[in-house]
Amino acid sequence: MPRQADIYSRVVAAKLFIDENYHEPIQLKHISQKACFSRFHFHRVFTKIYGKTPLEYLTAKRLQQAQHLLQQEGISIQEICNSVGFESLASFSLLFKNRNGYAPQYYRSLAFIKNKLAREQPHQVIPHCIIQNMFS
Protein backbone atom coordinates (compact mmCIF):
# COMPACT_ATOMS: atom_id res chain seq x y z
CA MET A 1 0.00 0.00 0.00
CA PRO A 2 1.64 3.32 -1.03
CA ARG A 3 2.03 5.96 1.65
CA GLN A 4 -0.23 9.01 1.37
CA ALA A 5 2.78 11.31 0.82
CA ASP A 6 3.88 9.08 -2.05
CA ILE A 7 0.42 9.28 -3.66
CA TYR A 8 0.50 13.06 -3.36
CA SER A 9 3.94 13.38 -4.92
CA ARG A 10 2.91 11.13 -7.85
CA VAL A 11 -0.34 12.99 -8.53
CA VAL A 12 1.39 16.37 -8.21
CA ALA A 13 4.10 15.19 -10.65
CA ALA A 14 1.33 14.16 -13.08
CA LYS A 15 -0.34 17.56 -12.71
CA LEU A 16 2.96 19.34 -13.35
CA PHE A 17 3.42 17.09 -16.39
CA ILE A 18 0.06 18.36 -17.73
CA ASP A 19 1.11 21.95 -16.94
CA GLU A 20 4.26 21.54 -18.99
CA ASN A 21 2.84 19.46 -21.85
CA TYR A 22 -0.73 20.74 -22.26
CA HIS A 23 0.04 21.73 -25.87
CA GLU A 24 0.82 18.10 -26.77
CA PRO A 25 -1.82 15.47 -27.56
CA ILE A 26 -1.88 14.14 -23.98
CA GLN A 27 -3.89 11.03 -23.17
CA LEU A 28 -5.05 10.00 -19.72
CA LYS A 29 -3.47 6.56 -20.03
CA HIS A 30 -0.03 8.14 -20.59
CA ILE A 31 -0.33 10.38 -17.55
CA SER A 32 -1.65 7.60 -15.32
CA GLN A 33 1.18 5.31 -16.46
CA LYS A 34 3.71 8.04 -15.66
CA ALA A 35 2.21 8.34 -12.18
CA CYS A 36 2.16 4.53 -11.79
CA PHE A 37 -1.60 4.36 -11.28
CA SER A 38 -4.31 2.49 -13.14
CA ARG A 39 -6.40 4.85 -15.29
CA PHE A 40 -9.40 4.43 -13.02
CA HIS A 41 -7.46 5.04 -9.82
CA PHE A 42 -5.60 8.04 -11.25
CA HIS A 43 -8.86 9.60 -12.47
CA ARG A 44 -10.42 9.13 -9.03
CA VAL A 45 -7.44 10.45 -7.03
CA PHE A 46 -6.78 13.42 -9.32
CA THR A 47 -10.45 14.46 -9.25
CA LYS A 48 -10.57 14.17 -5.46
CA ILE A 49 -7.46 16.36 -5.06
CA TYR A 50 -8.09 19.04 -7.67
CA GLY A 51 -11.89 19.08 -7.88
CA LYS A 52 -11.68 18.53 -11.65
CA THR A 53 -11.16 15.43 -13.75
CA PRO A 54 -7.76 15.27 -15.50
CA LEU A 55 -9.50 16.07 -18.81
CA GLU A 56 -11.38 19.03 -17.32
CA TYR A 57 -8.12 20.30 -15.84
CA LEU A 58 -6.27 19.88 -19.16
CA THR A 59 -9.03 21.73 -21.05
CA ALA A 60 -9.07 24.55 -18.49
CA LYS A 61 -5.28 24.85 -18.74
CA ARG A 62 -5.44 25.07 -22.54
CA LEU A 63 -8.21 27.67 -22.45
CA GLN A 64 -6.36 29.75 -19.86
CA GLN A 65 -3.23 29.74 -22.00
CA ALA A 66 -5.32 30.64 -25.08
CA GLN A 67 -6.78 33.57 -23.13
CA HIS A 68 -3.24 34.78 -22.48
CA LEU A 69 -2.16 34.38 -26.13
CA LEU A 70 -5.27 36.11 -27.45
CA GLN A 71 -4.06 39.30 -25.80
CA GLN A 72 -0.92 39.25 -27.94
CA GLU A 73 -0.70 40.57 -31.46
CA GLY A 74 0.80 38.79 -34.45
CA ILE A 75 -0.59 35.30 -33.84
CA SER A 76 -3.78 34.12 -35.53
CA ILE A 77 -6.62 32.42 -33.70
CA GLN A 78 -6.02 29.21 -35.67
CA GLU A 79 -2.37 29.27 -34.57
CA ILE A 80 -3.41 29.84 -30.95
CA CYS A 81 -5.90 26.99 -31.17
CA ASN A 82 -3.19 24.61 -32.41
CA SER A 83 -0.44 25.89 -30.14
CA VAL A 84 -2.42 25.21 -26.95
CA GLY A 85 -3.32 21.68 -28.03
CA PHE A 86 -6.78 21.86 -29.60
CA GLU A 87 -7.20 20.02 -32.87
CA SER A 88 -10.38 21.72 -34.05
CA LEU A 89 -11.03 25.44 -34.24
CA ALA A 90 -14.77 24.82 -33.89
CA SER A 91 -14.46 22.92 -30.61
CA PHE A 92 -11.90 25.45 -29.30
CA SER A 93 -14.25 28.36 -30.09
CA LEU A 94 -17.21 26.63 -28.47
CA LEU A 95 -15.32 25.70 -25.30
CA PHE A 96 -13.81 29.19 -25.10
CA LYS A 97 -17.20 30.84 -25.42
CA ASN A 98 -18.74 28.53 -22.82
CA ARG A 99 -16.00 29.40 -20.35
CA ASN A 100 -15.56 33.12 -20.99
CA GLY A 101 -18.89 34.21 -22.42
CA TYR A 102 -17.28 35.55 -25.61
CA ALA A 103 -16.01 33.97 -28.81
CA PRO A 104 -12.18 34.12 -29.12
CA GLN A 105 -12.29 36.86 -31.79
CA TYR A 106 -14.53 39.10 -29.69
CA TYR A 107 -12.50 38.44 -26.54
CA ARG A 108 -9.38 39.41 -28.48
CA SER A 109 -10.93 42.69 -29.69
CA LEU A 110 -11.91 43.64 -26.13
CA ALA A 111 -8.44 42.74 -24.82
CA PHE A 112 -6.74 44.84 -27.52
CA ILE A 113 -8.88 47.87 -26.67
CA LYS A 114 -8.20 47.44 -22.95
CA ASN A 115 -4.45 46.92 -23.44
CA LYS A 116 -4.20 49.90 -25.80
CA LEU A 117 -5.96 52.07 -23.23
CA ALA A 118 -3.71 50.79 -20.44
CA ARG A 119 -0.61 51.43 -22.53
CA GLU A 120 -1.51 54.86 -23.90
CA GLN A 121 -3.68 56.29 -21.13
CA PRO A 122 -2.78 54.38 -17.93
CA HIS A 123 -4.57 56.94 -15.77
CA GLN A 124 -7.84 55.71 -17.33
CA VAL A 125 -7.42 52.20 -15.91
CA ILE A 126 -5.82 52.96 -12.53
CA PRO A 127 -8.34 54.06 -9.89
CA HIS A 128 -8.00 57.83 -9.57
CA CYS A 129 -7.78 57.76 -5.76
CA ILE A 130 -4.65 55.58 -6.03
CA ILE A 131 -2.93 58.04 -8.37
CA GLN A 132 -4.00 60.99 -6.23
CA ASN A 133 -3.19 59.65 -2.77
CA MET A 134 -0.43 57.11 -3.20
CA PHE A 135 1.64 58.43 -6.01
CA SER A 136 3.38 61.79 -6.10
Partner 1 sequence: MVTKISHTTLFVSDQDKAYDFYVNKLGFIVKTDTKMPNGFRWLTVVPSGESQTEIALLSPLHEGMNYDEETKKAFKILLDKNALGAGVLYTPDCRATYEELKTKGVVFKSEPKEQFYGIEALITDSCGNWFSLTQPKSM
Where does this chain touch partner 1 (CB under 8 A) — which range of 8-16, 28-36, 75-83, 89-97?
8-16
Angle (CA) 30 21 36, round 5°: 30
CA distance 104 to 78: 10
Where does this chain touch partner 1 (CB under 8 A) — which range of 11-19, 23-31, 73-81, 84-92?
11-19
Residues 113-132 that bind partner 1 (CB under 8 A): 114, 118-119, 122-123, 125-127, 130-131
**What angle in degrees, to the nearest 10, is found between the helix axes of 4-21 and 54-70?**
40
Helical (H) or strand (E) element with 73: none
CA distance 83 to 62: 9
Q: What minimum distance in Å lies between the beta carbon of 122 and partner 1?
A: 5
- Collect all residues with Cβ–Cβ distance below 8 Å to 80 and sequence separation of at least 6: 66, 69, 70, 104
Q: Should residue 110 be labelled a site residue for partner 1 when binding is judged by CB under 8 A?
A: no
Residues 44-83 that bind partner 1 (CB under 8 A): 48-51, 64, 67
Applying CB under 8 A, which residues contact partner 1? 4-5, 8-9, 11-12, 15-16, 48-51, 64, 67, 99-100, 114, 118-119, 122-123, 125-127, 130-131, 133-136
